[in-house]
Structure 1
Amino acid sequence: MTYAFEMALHDWMGKRNRCRMVDLLGGSVRERVPVDAWRGRQTPEDLRRIVAQARARGFRGIEMKSKLGDPTVAQVRAIKEAGGDDFGVTIDPMWQWLSPHDALHTLKQLEAFSNLRIEDPFPWEQSEMWQRARQATAAPLVLHTRTMSVLKHGLQHGYADNFNCSGYVAEFMAMAHAVEVAGYCCWHGSSLELGVGQAAVLHAAAAARACTMPSDLQSAYIREHTLVTWDWPYADSTLPIPSGPGLGIELDRDALQRYRRAFAEFN
């Protein structure tokens, strides 16, 4: 609810003052935000096809989900075969690599691949598992900081190489600033929001100096419709900030009517 209110407020204030949401956040550090492709857990064969398509569209990396028992090394090898050695890979186990022995074995095997990082292999509270992994492998580890308290924990224990920051707009901006001050980089986390949410994420990512890593803003490819009229002009593994005032996008009223399942009006 806080996030929805924030988006509506920034959109209203921007339109009232004839400026973009990113300007309300202090101005744009970049006009185009780096983005990666995204997929859930897939077979190596499917990943080879998906990455070939992503590369043809101009993307330079992909985030994929994972759990212990998946053929992770074969998956990454398939990605590299289809995308090239320079094609980036972010593996997100979402805390599911819970066996230290198996996880460390997988991490050691993944050292053979370049331009690769592991996000949230273990729960954020289990600092000893993160630190043990950092001692055993050179594979970069990324902590997904959904709240400021998680970011503080990660910074205090020094077990992450970089960060995926999310949360509502003000919270993200505070976390991105803390990451910058601490000397790290981040990307803006995504839940594959619909068009309004992804536009807000774009503005916030463009305003944060530390947000230099590719965010997985792929709603236009993953969703059947984003419910906005903007055409999502991906190019060279980036997305531009919408140029209009406020969020810079407008709702697609025809799509809203087509997809609506319930309606309520509040006065």
Structure 2
Amino acid sequence: MSASRVSRVVVTPVAFGDPPLLNVVGVHQPWALRAIVEVHTDSGLLGLGETYADETHLARLEAVAAVLPGHDPYDLHGLRRLVEGVLGRETGGAGASFGGMLDVSSALATVYSPFEVACLDLQGREVGRPVSDLLGGAVRERVPFSGYLFYKWAGHPGLPDDAWGEALDPDGIVAQATRMVDGWGFGSLKLKGGVFTPDEECAAVEALRAAFPDLPLRLDPNGAWTPETSVRVAERLAGVVEYLEDPTPGIDGMAYVAARTDVPLATNMCVIAFEHLPPAVAADAVQIVLSDHHLWGGLRASSLLAGMTDTFGMGLSMHSNSHLGVSLAAMVHLAAATPNLTYACDTHYPWKTQDLVTPGVLDFEGGSVAVPTGPGLGVELDRDMLGVLHEQYLTCGVRRREDTVYMRSIDPSFSPNTARW
């Protein structure tokens, strides 16, 4: 065990500009929120974590931060017990909800995760080894990512149009994909659906296939379709998409679709915690799980998930929310040390225009990111940018992700119902 102990913990909420990206529950607000967790030790080291920043989550993070000083950063089991104790005292062990689509019965995993990442960053910095080595060693030098396409408005109402412009039809989606491929070199593409009718979204995927005949394609409507519609879409897009992600809600609905198509089904909605795995496996509801260390309880728990998917012959990829460089670094190290990462990972990274890590470490080339070889996560905070993004948090007025509320401020008749088609 290390002789160093945690001396102080700083949780800083930040905000950065987000385009008007459309989805089944509404549209992204002008500002995306994240929290940066800094864990300092009495030996002068600093470990970083990144997570969500809605008000309830921030209160839980601050409660853990208050009792973490004196803890050994190598004692991750003790860290988990500490978080469990805090949540029991502070919140009664209540659940958590993020973005209107991701709901978990216990907040333990999501609160624990950024502190675990920060402790692993500290461990790596102390021993001079990258986090991927702490997870068993990198099995790949570069991690492939998929270009994440969205239907979107040209700009937020009342604000200037953004650099991406409008994408509300197949031509707009193909133009967006072209910019993604030309700018970042992505070797696969994913379209966020659930915005227009299934036929319209199928047409967009087919237009992508015509424009990019060699790139794997994915479509994710976030449970917008009924099971019967999902089967019809799967028939139409068989041989066009490498998988459909969450075409319909719930394990039972996904199992209905899976039994009637050979198109693989992926999920980041009906299997987002370990207790969801047994029923999903028993029903053969999903063939691919999208891991997410923010949701599943950190990097080591995500490695455990990878082992389970391998055991049951399931594919594995990685989910993304709007994130900054600390999260991207953690994702890259995890993906590098995951032998059975079957598909390129998701990332929102090209959509952001600001970051708070020193540039040059996480560059995209050929649609992939080189695994940082420096100690720990291999990234450093840009203190000036941290200050800028924190000031944006203080002044932007957004305190939780509310895609539906924002959409209804523009279109009062909007309904976020899933399985709407």
Q: Report the TM-score, using the length of structure 1 for normalisation.
A: 0.89
Supply the RMSD in Å over aligned alpha carbons: 1.9
**1:33 touches 1:202 (CA, 8 Å); kept in 2?**
yes
CA distance in 2, matches of 1:58, 1:22: 24
The match for 1:245 is 375
Identical aligned residues as a percent: 26
Partner of 1:139: 263
Q: Distance in 1 between matches of 2:209 and 2:357?
A: 34
- The equivalent of 1:226 in structure 2 is 355
Partner of 2:318: 188
**Which of 139, 163, 170 is the matching residue for 2:289?**
163
**Deviation at residue 183 of structure 1 after TM alignment:** 2.2
Native 8 Å contact 2:224 2:248 kept in 1: yes
Deviation at 1:112, TM superposition (A): 4.9
* Shift in alpha-carbon separation, 1:3–1:66, aligned structure 2, 3 A: same
Which residue is equivalent to 1:14?
Answer: 124
Map 1:84-233 → 2, pairs under 5 A: 85-97=213-225, 99-113=226-240, 115-126=241-252, 129-144=253-268, 145-166=271-292, 167=296, 168-219=298-349, 221-231=350-360, 232-233=362-363
The separation in 1 between residues aligned to 2:203 and 2:283, in whole angstroms, is 32
Question: What is the DSSP-based 3-state SS (H/G/I as helix, E as strand, rest coil) of the residue aligned with 2:317?
Answer: strand
Q: What CA deviation, in whole Å up to 9, does each residue of 1:81-118 have, x standing for no partner?
A: 222x2211111121221x233222222111252x4310
Q: Report the Cα distance in structure 2 between the residues aligned to 1:247 and 1:152, rounded to whole angstroms.
A: 32
Q: Structure 1: which 4+ aligned runs deviate by more than 3 Å? A: none
Matches within 5 A, 1:15-54: 15-41=125-151, 42=167, 43-54=169-180
Looking at structure 2, the residues matched to 117 and 258 of structure 1 have their Cα atoms a distance apart, in angstroms, of 39
Residues 193, 152 of structure 1: CA spacing in aligned structure 2 closer, same or farther, 3 A cutoff? farther
Bigger CA radius of gyration: 2
Would you say how many aligned residue pairs link Structure 1 and Structure 2? 257
Contact 1:147 1:171 in 2 (8 A): no
In 2, the alpha carbon distance for the partners of 1:103 and 1:49 equals 26
- CA deviations on 1:198-223 (whole Å, 9 max, x unpaired) are 1111111111111131001241x111
For 2:150, give the aligned amino acid. Answer: G
CA distance 1:180–1:230, shift in 2 (3 Å): farther
TM-score for the superposition, normalised by structure 2: 0.58
Greater CA drift, 169-178 or 142-151: 142-151
- Cα distance in 1 between the residues matched to 2:373 and 2:223: 38
* Deviation, structure 1 residue 250: 0.5
Secondary structure at the aligned position of 2:232 is classed as helix
Unmatched segments (≥5 aa) in structure 2: 1-110, 152-166, 395-421
User: Matched residues in 2 for 1:121 and 1:150: separation?
Assistant: 17
Which secondary structure does the structure 2 equivalent of 1:37 belong to?
strand
Which residue pairs with 1:64 in the alignment?
191
Give the structure with the larger strand fraction: 2
Deviations 1:52-107 (A, max 9, x none): 12222321111221126241211102212222x2211111121221x233222222
Query: In 1, are the aligned partners of 2:222 and 2:246 still within 8 Å (CA)?
Result: yes
Tell me the CA shift for residue 15 of structure 1. 0.4
Q: For residue 78 of structure 1, what is the amino acid of its counterpart?
A: A
